[in-house]
Chains A and B, each alone.
Chain A
Amino acid sequence: MSATTYAWLALLMPLVGTVGLAVGFKLWPGKTAGYIATVAILLSFLAGIGALIQLEHHPANHRELVSSLWNYAVTAGVDARLSILVDPLSVFMVLVVSGVSTLIHLYSIPYMESDRGFVRYFSYLNYFVFSMLLLVLAGNFLFLIVGWAFVGAASYLLISFWYRRRTATKAGIEAFVLNVFGDVGLVLGTFFIFRHTHTLEFLPVFHAAPHLFAKGSADITAGCILLLLGAFAKSAQIPLHTWLPNAMEGPTPVSALIHAATMVTAGVYLIARMHPLFELAPAAQDVGAVVGALTLFVAGTIGLAQTDIKRIVAYSTMSQIGYMIMGVSIGAYAAGLFHLMTHAFFKALLFMAAGSLIGAMAGEQSLDRMGGFRRALPFTYATFLIGGLALAAVPPFSGFFSKDEILLAAAERGGWHWALYAVGYIGALLTSLYTFRLIFRAFHGEPVKEARELEAGHLPHAEVPRNPATGEVEDTDVGFPGPAHAIAERSWEMKVAMGILAVGAVGAGFLQIPRTDHVIENFLAPTFVGAAGYHLREGTAKLALGLSLSTVIALAGIGLAYLLWRSRPALLAAIKARAGWLQALLENRWYFDLALYRGLVEPAAALGQAARQGFERYVIEGAFVGGAQLAAAAGSALVRALQSGLLRAYAALLTVGAAGVALYFLVRA
């Protein structure tokens, strides 16, 4: 079978899964639905591997394969085809997405076991994987936009999965609305480009772009900046980032999948895919780099002051994606995508471990209530530590190599990119700091009540189920989380999934060691033919500087965290007292949330209210509906008068009609 056939199969499997699970909603007993969903994604992953092998059989310069299933409408001004593009970049993304998704599906089975919405969950999850694969395999802008929108819908469905929680539904709506901003940018950007190219297919657009657009012309720059808007919304970069921490309202595996490993990386994929266009718009590239750097710094600082462990990891995701966006914006595509892959591994692992910890706390997510779980949850602790070390970029874990590559590329570019280099390392320090703050506070120190219960062998249980964020009382019926909680130590599925990810978090880094092997870079090279500066020049001096700086900063961060949160808590208190304004700023998340609410949500709500009271009531209901009502009533009153029941009236009507007809014929003759 050819590579494109494998790719279509990879797309088909999750679709079959979601439809099958949805249609046979009541049929699937027990946990069957979970296994079916997992197998569907596993098959998709295997199809991805098949596509990879088949692709490698092609010579290096013929690795961009297009397969079109159906020409929907191809005429002047319209170009809509159902086509996919199979090239190293899309196969890379397919493998990452489906691989991590399989493990997350497996992890979800015990996690969601007692939830009444078990089948619905797996149907949605499969739908998400289908949408994401559609996005990365799309061969033209139209399909990309379709996949983009589907992914947004899947995100909404999964964030507000526990739909009877107000906080969850509000978060879902917020995520969807902000994503719509991005969608508008994406569609408008596409239009700017389509106006000149008259085709939506990727390969023709990319080949024609250098001839149609002058480098730095207004049209291409505007188009690329609009595309960036889409990327920022989906990847939660400033200023469209406020939805991501709130999206933690969804179940933890959902956070692991969508908001760590796959959906939020769609923006990075977009920039990498559109690289021929971005190369022609240096201004857009600079915008992307600056926003990426800004986000990684701001998110890192906010992560220091959060108390909900899932939100800490969410801000960490935001920060790491800032690195990736920065990387692909400055042209270091291989580095950015490599970081995407390693991040998928260790971030998913961190979320899974966090899920296990939350399970041990019977649904409680606040760091303030946790402590000393090291002995109660040994496996979770080990995996959390591995994930944390990878995130903090401690050698030889994978995060070290990937983050370093990006910063090295920034150094290589020179000029003002040294500012990005500096910000990158400050961010690395912050990353290390907040990660180990989390680890030290949750796992070290005095065991809390729940930890002691668990050490005694009894999994703690909440008396009254509550919303962890607001404390509202809930029940465990459909629409709310189920009564039972799962921890990794007690379920083999979670252990297997986390174990495989831990191996990845440790070992994936060895795929791209500077000056030794460049597996990722070489694999992705055919896609980035023509990209200036694609292959990293690894000058010895900068390389040595980078590697040593990385290590020092990572270890310094760990040390500082230990100091502040383990050995000298008084120091921390003193710092907080001196810099109260800083604490307020960080706790309020740099006031972005407030600004968006005051600036956008409240005016929109006021407008809606005014429209309802004014226009809707008087014009629509009064004039249109009322008018139509009056007209219908008048008409029917008229007709009702004719139905008098009088025989003579009917006879009269009949004869009048006959006379009329006779008159007509008379006149005609």
Chain B
Amino acid sequence: MSTFVFVLAAIGAVGGATAVVALRDPFYSVLALVVHLLSLAVLFLLLRAELVAAVQVVVYAGAVMVLYVFVVAYVGDGEETLRERFSSSLSQPALRGLGAAVGVALLTELLIALLGAGLKMVEGEGAPYHPGPRTFGTPAFIGKLLLTRFLIPFEVASFLLLVAAVGAVLLAGRERERTVEEAERARELAGVGR
């Protein structure tokens, strides 16, 4: 049973990832990523990481992706429709080819490192698991760890979130009066593509 669920979730994850890379419309890419994230949450559950799976759905698929959807709706298509214009020194097919090549290379290396090395523990199913209220993966378990062993990373991460929030507000805040040069510059840059 778990194998079947695993296969389904794995196909969902990989398929979603491929769709993100292959699809042309950024909106579709966002949707594909949502599918991918949900599949990943299922995989987490299979690995007994209950809290992490829940957080994945709520934070990642819920909040972050919603943000993405809003921005894509606001910004629009971007320059994908102009992909035929060569404005860079490296042409589009060349870079795509390079990307694919690098991806394949990395994949091979990782697979060799992880699976081909003959590590015994990787062959198994992991540590023994006894279900209970405070076992591995439950919120109580994670919470205890966060407040004892990993207190400092926890605090630092919260500080980082604060900094990010302030930064985001500043970045996307109301724009100031643009000077003549800036307007000209923007027009010039935009005009090059036309």
Q: Please give the residue numbers on chain A whose beta carbons come within 8 Å of chain B beta carbons, in ascending order.
A: 644, 646, 648-649, 652, 655-656, 658-659, 662-663, 666, 669
A648 touches B105 (CB 8 A): no
Q: Which residue of A lies closest to B103 (CB)?
A: A655
Q: Mark B107-127, 1 if CB is under 8 A from A, else 0.
A: 001101100010000000000
Contacts of B71 in A (CB 8 A): none
Describe B's contact surface by its main secondary structure: helix
B95 touches A648 (CB 8 A): yes
On whether A659 and B105 interact (CB within 8 A), knowing A666-B112, A666-B113, the answer reads yes
Q: Which residue of B lies closest to A641 (CB)?
A: B89
On whether A655 and B102 interact (CB within 8 A), knowing A648-B95, A663-B109, A666-B113, the answer reads yes
Q: Which residue of B lies closest to A646 (CB)?
A: B88
Contacts of A644 in B (CB 8 A): 88-90
B109 touches A666 (CB 8 A): yes
Having A659-B109, A666-B109, one finds 9 other A-B pairs with CB under 8 Å, namely A644-B89, A648-B95, A652-B98, A656-B102, A658-B106, A662-B106, A662-B109, A663-B109, A666-B113
A659 touches B106 (CB 8 A): yes
Is B99 located at the chain interface by the 8 A CB criterion? yes
Q: Which residue of A lies closest to B113 (CB)?
A: A666
Q: Which residue of A lies closest to B98 (CB)?
A: A652
Q: Please give the residue numbers on chain B whose beta carbons come within 8 Å of chain A beta carbons, in ascending order.
A: 88-90, 95, 98-99, 102, 105-106, 109-110, 112-113, 117
> How many A-B pairs fall under 8 Å by CB?
33
Q: Can you name 28 A-B residue pairings with CB atoms under 8 Å?
A: A644-B88, A644-B89, A644-B90, A646-B88, A646-B89, A646-B90, A648-B88, A648-B90, A648-B95, A649-B95, A652-B95, A652-B98, A652-B102, A655-B102, A655-B106, A656-B102, A658-B106, A659-B102, A659-B105, A659-B106, A659-B109, A662-B106, A662-B109, A663-B109, A666-B109, A666-B112, A666-B113, A669-B117
B113 touches A662 (CB 8 A): yes
Smallest beta-carbon distance B108→chain A, Å:
9
A649 touches B113 (CB 8 A): no
With a 10 A CB-CB cut-off, give which of B89, B95, B109 has the most chain A CB atoms. B109
* Distance, CA A658 to CA B117, complexed state (A): 20
* Distance, CA A644 to CA B95, complexed state (A): 14
**Nearest 7 A/B pairs, CB to CB:** A662-B109, A659-B105, A655-B102, A644-B89, A659-B106, A646-B88, A652-B98
Contacts of B89 in A (CB 8 A): 644, 646, 649
* Distance, CA A644 to CA B112, complexed state (A): 34
Smallest beta-carbon distance A660→chain B, Å:
9
Contacts of A666 in B (CB 8 A): 109, 112-113
Smallest beta-carbon distance B162→chain A, Å:
28
* Distance, CA A663 to CA B89, complexed state (A): 29
B90 touches A649 (CB 8 A): yes
